[in-house]
Structure 1
Amino acid sequence: MTLHLPSAGGEMRAYEPRTEPLAFDTGAKLASRVVFSAAHVVADPFADTTPDSPAAVDWDATLAFRRHLWSHGLGVAEAMDTAQRGMGLDWAGAAELITRSAAEAKAVGGLIACGVGTDQLTTPAGDLAGVKAAYEEQLALVEGAGAQAILMASRALASVARGPEDYLDVYGHLLRQATEPVVLHWLGPMFDPALDGYWGSADLDAATETFLDVIAAHPDKIDGIKVSLLDAQREVDLRRRLPKGVRCYTGDDFNYPELIAGDDRGFSHALLGIFDPLGPLAAQAVRVLDTGDTKGFRELLDPTVELSRHLFQAPTRFYKTGVVFLAWLAGHQDHFTMVGGLQSARSLPHFAKAYELADGLGLFPNPELAETRMKNLLALYGVTA
């Protein structure tokens, strides 16, 4: 059946949905790259909440989605910004999410790493001691749950740090007490404006030097770095300067195929929000790469970049809305409701384009269900033809 989808200019265009999904393998773990999908949370649609209320999470659906990712051989990056940390999911909700997901990972043998931050500081941190204490609380919970820690960028640290030396102090303090190697996360201001000037400078070259200083001082405590700056050449330059044994996990949702494929001087592993909706396809592409077939890998993954760039377009921090929207269309949840009411953060033309691109890629296991749900959304907005 033909759908009439609104474009950004207001006109309607006809679209013929596909009738068959792509078929994806499950089970086998990935070999040539370590790949994490940063996973979203499913809200409880029946909770009586407001945008300022603590998050109400549908735990069954949330954990079922993580089992879906694990079934395709992907790791889960838990309680990251894709899970709406700082945009609807508070620390209490994140702590429960980490505890539940880590237990589920242990039960099914899934790979998991969890975000460690300072978001329990709902008022200004005041000083570095408060930032350290908040980080320590979260690090203890993640390690106690048996998960790998991802040291996330901290709004509180960005607000109180006087310069690079404060970042060296805080991260050095945390790395010395980490029991297992961690992932350091550099999240750019396009994802969170409060992180502008992280590592002590708005000059990215200067910030990079501080970041590398932290790594050089503690290489044995760092499994890898996750870079989310949407600058492919900067990531390549950075990964070539990493100490031996320290991985680079790309967080570049604009340029991930080329960064994962790499070149004769190295490659990036992956920790990506776009691998939430792309999970099965991304895993299949990496399995092709495992055989040494870089061309086949790119042929599978390159066509997904248009969808990713659409979902992550400015304001980039609202990409979570598109991610959850596609999970709903794909049948991973029964509703399109988000914690904090974030389902309203994108427009109907944005949703229409996301549907069209995802359907064209064959991402929906049941195209008929996706079409029906898209028609229901259009009707909600007053589109009747």
Structure 2
Amino acid sequence: MTIRLPYGTYEPRSEPLAPAPHGAPLTSRRVYSAAHVVADPYADVSPDSPAAVDWDATLAFRRHLWSHGLGVAEAMDTAQRGMGLDWAGASELIRRSAAEAKAAGGAIACGVGTDQLPPGETTLPAVTAAYEEQLALVESTGARAVLMASRALAAAARGPEDYLAAYGHLLRQAAEPVILHWLGPMFDPALAGYWGSTDLDAATETLLEVIAAHPDKVDGVKVSLLDARREIELRRRLPKGVRCYTGDDFNYPELIAGDDHGFSHALLGIFDPLGPLAAEAVRTLDTGDAKTFRALLDPTVELSRHLFEPPTRFYKTGVVLLAWLAGHQSHFTMVGGLQSARSLPHLSKAYELADGLGLFPDPLLAEARMKTFLTLHGVDQ
């Protein structure tokens, strides 16, 4: 049986990889999957409307990740914050997911940002107050906070000293250690020059100064620059006890495996579609078997690099397509209408690569859904 794609034919595999759920925590690395939200396909909304979320399907996907022992990074960019999901929706997502995490015994970290600010509101006091409001909410749920990179702070800050002041103020009042977040402009162009400089060496020094001033309040730093060398250099300079969480969806196997000087933990968008396989790989690393870890994860890099190809900020579209094909949701609809943000050839290649990895629990269901999708877009089967 073959499937006709826009650029040729493909013969789907018949058997899934399908690692069995294994809820025991991972021990050698802390691993968070940045989980997507499931839109409500029946809501009568427009791209300018507040997001309509299918809460049952959204929370069921988080239970799926916890069942494999992964943590959930909630209300991060995979959840389309700033691209369809506003603060009202994100705050509800945080409350519901944190409660679900307690019930499931799963790890959760939640994004703290400034996206409740109206457009153009970029004074430093306003930015700090917005961060404080969101930090208070996340801490009230018992979740770990991730201080996300802020578009408003990037616009308001005049230089490194403003980042030092803003983050210092927030860290002094944080009840528990937080994860700092450095998201490169390939993920969000509005974050260019974060930490007060477009020179990444200078920006790194400012970040390290923030951490050095408050090492007891920093659990770790999530680095999403898609530059393995820079991440390795940064993690070697972190104070003892401060973790490096890779957000590098291009080089994650080598960064998580590490070297003689250390390793990265993980907070990754690609671990949404790779969840079960990623958990199985890290469990082999828990036993000290780095070779099998790499054998499991290295073949997934082609899919990840494809999903995260420029414009990288639209990687979520491929992630949600794969969730639909895998049976985690009943439709391919996204908040903000972002199901249209990637081309038919791009999404077809995502299907082909994911199927080749055995990521679909029911390959026949994935094939049937993909054929329907292709037919709808003019590729007769």
Length-normalised TM-score, structure 1 = 0.98
Letter in 2 for 1:6: P
Amino acid at match of 1:14: T
Asked if residue 235 in structure 1 is aligned to residue 231 in structure 2, the reply is: yes
Residues 1:114 and 2:121 aligned together: no
In the alignment, structure 1 residue 162 sits paired with structure 2 residue 158: yes
Q: Please give the secondary structure, in 2, of the residue aligned with 1:227.
A: strand
Aligned mates of 2:66, 2:252 — CA distance in 1: 20
Alignment of 1:44-193 (within 5 A): 44-193=40-189
Task: Write the letter of the residue equivalent to 1:29.
Answer: P
Deviations 1:123-167 (A, max 9, x none): 222411000100000000000011000000000000010000000
Matches within 5 A, 1:290-309: 290-309=286-305
Amino acid at match of 1:325: L
Say which of 329, 334, 337 aligns to 2:333: 337
3-state DSSP of counterpart to 1:202:
coil
Cα shift readout 1:240-259 (whole Å, capped 9, x = no counterpart): 00000000000000000000
Letter in 2 for 1:305: V
Distance 2:45 2:227 in 1: 38
- Does residue 372 in structure 1 map to residue 364 in structure 2? no
The reply on whether 1:19 has 2:14 as its aligned counterpart is yes
Q: Which residue of 1 aligns with 2:5?
A: 5
Query: 1:347-373, CA deviations, whole angstroms, 9 ceiling, x for partnerless residues?
Result: 110011000000000000000000000
Secondary structure at the aligned position of 2:180 is classed as strand
SS class of match (1:373)? helix
Is this contact kept in 1: 2:51–2:335, CA < 8 A? yes
Structure 2: distance between partners of 1:179 and 1:29:
24
Q: Give a deviation string over 1:211-256, Cα, whole Å, max 9, x none.
A: 0000000000000000000000000000000000000000000000
Paired with 1:341 and 1:333, the residues of 2 have a C-alpha distance of: 16
Match of 1:269 among 261, 265, 269: 265
Letter in structure 1 aligned against 2:233? D
Find the aligned partners of 2:124 and 2:303 in 1 and give their Cα distance.
40
**Alpha carbons 2:51, 2:89 under 8 Å: kept:** yes
* C-alpha contact (below 8 Å) 2:225/2:247 kept by paired residues: yes
Q: CA deviation at 1:28?
A: 2.0
Task: Supply the distance in 1 between the matched residues of 2:300 and 2:229 (Cα, whole angstroms).
Answer: 20
Alpha-carbon distance in 2 for matches of 1:235, 1:163: 23
The code of the aligned residue for 1:360 comes to G
Residue number in structure 1 paired with 2:347: 351
Which secondary structure state, in structure 1, belongs to the residue aligned with residue 179 of structure 2?
strand
- Report the Cα offset of residue 14 of structure 1: 1.4
Partners of 2:243 and 2:363 in 1: CA distance: 38
Contact kept? 2:232, 2:255, Cα under 8 Å: yes
User: Structure 1: which 4+ aligned runs deviate by more than 6 Å?
Assistant: none
Q: Which residue of 2 aligns with 1:10?
A: none
**Cα shift at 1:179:** 0.1
**Distance in structure 1 (CA, Å) of the matches to 2:129 and 2:9:** 56
| Partner Cα distance (1:369, 1:106) in 2 | 32
- 2:309 alignment partner, one of 295, 313, 322: 313
Check the 8 A contact 2:122/2:153 in 1, yes or no.
no
Distance 2:122 2:185 in 1: 22
- TM-score w.r.t. structure 2 length? 0.99
Aligned length: 380
Q: Provide the secondary structure at the position in 1 that maps to 2:182.
A: strand
Partner of 1:244: 240
Secondary structure of the equivalent of 1:226? strand
Q: What are structure 1's unaligned runs of at least 5 residues? A: 8-12
| Paired residue secondary structure (2:291) | helix
Question: 2:35 is matched with which residue: 13, 32, 39?
Answer: 39
Task: Among all aligned residue pairs of Structure 1 and Structure 2, give the percentage whose two residues are the same amino acid.
Answer: 82
Q: CA deviation at 1:375?
A: 0.1
Deviations 1:262-293 (A, max 9, x none): 00000000000000000000000000111100
Question: Is contact 2:15-2:363 (8 Å) kept?
Answer: yes
Instruction: Report the aligned-residue RMSD.
Output: 0.6
AA matched with 1:24: P
